[in-house]
Amino acid sequence: MIARKLVSTALGRLTEGRIEIEEGGRIRAFGPPGAELRARIQVRDPRFWRSVLGGSLGIGQAYAEGRWDCDDLVTLVRIGAREMPRIDRLRAPFAPLRAALTRVPRNTRGAARNHIAAHYDLGNTLFGLFLDETMTYSCALFERPGMTLREAQEAKLDRVCRALRLGPDDHLLEIGSGWGSLALHAAGRYGCRVTTTTLSREQGAAVRERARAKGLGDRVEVLGLDYRELRGRYSKLASIEMIEAVGWQYYDAYLRACSNLLAPDGLILLQAITIDDRAYEVEKAGRSFANELIFPGGCLPSLEVIRRSCARATRLRLLEVKDITGSYPETLRRWRLAWRAATEEAARLGYDEVFRRLWDFYFAWSEGGFRERRIEDVQLLLAGPAYRGSRVNIRPAIASTSAAGPREASLASASRPPGPST
């Protein structure tokens, strides 16, 4: 079988981990015998080999369909993430041609609504199976050992509010409502007015209901508008892990809209999942597991791409970059554990085994990427041109000493050179 030979040849070049492949009672091993990272794949269908040639998209589809299993998916992804810089160098010369030939969907206003609906309108009950009580679908902030997921999510929400220096006189605009955790936290604990917008009908309905239930209906306004349709001026603005849905063709338009909606002396907190700048060009226009099967139309920016776009399209100034990547593996680990524990309930709700395996792979794929920092999560604090306040002094997170714990670092832009996060 040609596909098996091609994949086996590629696996023979592994240097960053050891992968054992079990098929038909036979086990073959690839990679250094003494490697730190080790994983075993069980091939259940010979079509697996052809799927691997399709990259992350083929691999993810094949896992969802049960063609293969693994004793440790996260470790397998970590091995792949460590190998990727070498592979990126081989892919880089072909990136422009690949971008020209690949039909990547653009996030026009109409398409953006469809792309958001494809993920976020799967059902509020579905997301409730793995999210904590705050229904926060973004990286938590594990500031100390022993925190529950809810405590870590509330710590993140509170840090966003403190970074923005929110108070009763503020009118906060949130682009990307999620299920309302930030809007409710800001209005309930800091007393500000909040206007929040989402293209997801399911999310919009949930936020309105949650605001009413908490007696915050008079302070939380929920819109169903695209960022390009928003008008007005706001003293503060927040957007938590929404830029990933914008699309690389629209970063300037998105950040320009944020700048135009902000009062000249206002502050913006932008939380973004980013990819290493050295990998951005080879990944941005490709068809992948994530942007085809999980987040249609999605694209991860790099930190440098965001900075350049801000400089090109806005008058915003960068005050602070806080790296919270270290908290994402633990966030995802807990989501995945909850998802696996709820598999029977998910089945009862009508989500079949292929869908359940697909999302299990999604959580593991993401966790492995964050553990190896192939992808990262940062909070950028941006200021309008008339902002004259000092840099915001926010209590730093307490980093855990465990391998699975957080590694937060607050980095002022003045002390951080341009380039990808490390």
Q: Are residues 139 and 220 in the same domain?
A: yes
Q: Are residues 116 and 227 in the same domain?
A: yes
Q: Is residue 316 part of a domain?
A: yes
Q: Are residues 67 and 144 in the same domain?
A: no
| Whether the predicted pLDDT of 404 surpasses 90 | no
**How confident is the model at residue 97, as a pLDDT?**
58
Task: Determine the structural domain holding residue 69 and report its residue range.
Answer: 2-101
Q: Are residues 357 and 220 in the same domain?
A: yes
Q: Are residues 65 and 158 in the same domain?
A: no
Q: Is residue 31 part of a domain?
A: yes
Domain boundary among 101, 131, 150: 101
Q: Are residues 92 and 113 in the same domain?
A: no
Q: Is residue 67 part of a domain?
A: yes
**How confident is the model at residue 86, as a pLDDT?**
87
| Whether the predicted pLDDT of 406 surpasses 70 | no
Average the pLDDT over 101-122 and give the result.
86
| Whether the predicted pLDDT of 422 surpasses 70 | no
Reported confidence tier of residue 100, pLDDT bands at 50, 70, 90: low
Q: Is residue 421 part of a domain?
A: no
Q: Is residue 422 part of a domain?
A: no
Q: Is residue 420 part of a domain?
A: no
Among 138-142, 167-171, 186-190, 415-419, the range scoring the smallest mean pLDDT is 415-419
Q: Is residue 49 part of a domain?
A: yes
Q: Are residues 96 and 114 in the same domain?
A: no
Q: Are residues 407 and 274 in the same domain?
A: yes
Q: Are residues 157 and 255 in the same domain?
A: yes
What is the number of domains present in the chain?
2
Domain boundary among 45, 73, 101: 101
**How confident is the model at residue 357, as a pLDDT?**
98
Q: What is the pTM of this model?
A: 0.90
Sheet strands side by side (includes 18-23): 26-30, 18-23, 38-43, 68-70
Higher pLDDT, 109 or 22: 22
Q: Are residues 254 and 332 in the same domain?
A: yes
Q: Are residues 89 and 197 in the same domain?
A: no
**How confident is the model at residue 421, as a pLDDT?**
31
Q: Are residues 93 and 183 in the same domain?
A: no
pLDDT digits (tens, 9 = 90+) for 336-388: 999 999 999 999 999 999 999 999 999 999 999 999 999 999 999 999 999 99
Domain boundary among 40, 75, 101: 101
Q: Is residue 399 part of a domain?
A: yes
Q: What CATH code is carried by the domain that includes residue 158?
A: 3.40.50.150
**How confident is the model at residue 101, as a pLDDT?**
55
**How many CB atoms lie under 10 A from the CB of residue 253?**
16
Q: What CATH code is carried by the domain that includes residue 52?
A: 3.30.1050
